[in-house]
Amino acid sequence: MGKKLAFAIVLAAGLGLLFFGYNESTSITSRVSKAVIGSHSNRIMFFYIGGGVFSFLGLFGLLRK
């Protein structure tokens, strides 16, 4: 039961990072930065990549027997 709880927490953290990354990418400062530079900032990419990795690991751990 302890491992399942840990994987659920990792999954929740990953989903939270994805949510924060999305919120950050839709902010007005991010839109201006993307218009000037042409790409998202490193911070947003770290949110997306970290959130994806954590979500995958959490989901894999929960679905594994």
DSSP sequence for 1-65: -HHHHHHHHHHHHHHHHHHHHHHHHTSHHHHHHHHHHSS--HHHHHHHHHHHHHHHHHHHHHH--
pTM over 0.75, yes/no: yes
Contact 47, 21 (CB under 8 A): yes
Contact 30, 41 (CB under 8 A): yes
Question: Quick one: pLDDT at residue 36?
Answer: 81
Question: Quick one: pLDDT at residue 13?
Answer: 97
